[in-house]
Structure 1
Amino acid sequence: MPAVLFALLLIVFRNDSILHIQGAFPFLPWQFWVIGIFGVIATAGGVLDWKYHRNPLQLKLSKKERDAEAAALGLGGLPMFVLMWLAMMHAKPTQFLIPILVVLIYTIVAICYDEFVFHRKRCGKLETIYHRMLVLGNGIAWLSWFHFIFC
């Protein structure tokens, strides 16, 4: 969903000069292309992992694991997206830097908790690939977005 929401917001705010969207190819700054590519990889990893766990022959998630993943997404990923978008659209994005870093640290801790407590020993190769697609794809997309805003 973050990749779709990001694209939708780019369309809605396409005329805003802060975004540097042009009328000719490549249309978008290079950071947005990186966000798009790795956002798709992350989304594919998330969908494949979700689909993997919907198969009755695969391992079901425990309530504790579902809660940990919901906390990482709801208290980390969602606020991070909002803060990053607000920083990008603001004339002084550095005002958002400390909140972004606080949420980033929380999100990293929540993801590490989920990976090391629930996934480290029980996941097979396929599920591990899905998780790496999700985590690394989102991480690279976030770094690119951070670069666009603050560099």
Structure 2
Amino acid sequence: MNTRVTAAPAPKGFRQYLSLVLLFMPAILFALLLLIYRDNPNAHMLDHFPFLPWQYCIMAVCGVVATIGGVLDWQFHRDPLKLKIPKKERDAEAAALGLGGVPMFLLMWFAMMSGSPTKFLIPIMIVLIYTVVAISYDEFVFHIKRCKRLENIYHRMLVLGNGIAWLACFHLIYCA
């Protein structure tokens, strides 16, 4: 019996890289904005070693873990012998990143730079709820039955890494 794995066709053009580009946006924007606003007192930069509060270190480590998990998951789906993700799933992931992650990053940045960050609290909570729902939809509709151990590890790296980085940022803004 000849069993052959048939892969779904890959999206054409830029769309196949959209989730990968969106994955890197918060890290690139954060580093760039931190460099630009390093003298702003709301950036919490210190003038002595270690120069950064511990929350930045947690954000960096967990953000790297999340990005590595996201890249490995993206690459996992590019192997023609592994399951390709359908268009609906790609759209759901792009929506979680583009409509959840990027606006969350911007709101958190504006809250951090603001003299009164509490005015951003309600929009942050709304985007947080949307993002959790979008990630849950992706996980429970597309991943729950089909994903094997390795792919689940990548997803956990991505979701937990981003979640812990967000909590560290939230602590820096509202508790430090």
TM-score with structure 2 length normalisation? 0.83
User: What are the equivalent positions in structure 2 for 1:23-102 lying under 5 Å apart?
Assistant: 23-102=47-126
Structure 2 match to 1:126: 150
Question: Structure 1 residue 10 and structure 2 residue 34: aligned?
Answer: yes
CA-CA distance at 1:24 after TM superposition: 2.6
Is 2:165 the counterpart of 1:117? Answer: no
- Structure-2 residue corresponding to 1:145: 169
Q: Deviations over 1:11-66 (max 9, x none)?
A: 11111111221233211011011000000000000011011111111110101101
Aligned partner of 1:103 in structure 2 is 127
Q: Identity over aligned residues, as a percent?
A: 68
Counterparts of 2:113 and 2:96 in 1: how far apart (Å)? Answer: 25
- The structure whose Rg is larger is 2
DSSP 3-state at the match of 1:54: coil
Aligned AA (1:72)? A
What is the aligned residue count?
A: 151
* Gap runs ≥5 in structure 2: 1-23
Deviation for aligned residue 1:87: 0.6
Unmatched runs of 5 consecutive residues or more in structure 1: none
Give distance in 1, aligned partners of 2:115 and 2:160.
29
Q: Counterparts of 1:12 and 1:91 in 2: how far apart (Å)?
A: 18
The one-letter code matched in structure 2 to 1:70 is A
TM-score normalised to structure 1 length = 0.97
More helix by share: 1
> In structure 1, how many angstroms separate the alpha carbons of the residues matched to 2:64 and 2:27?
7
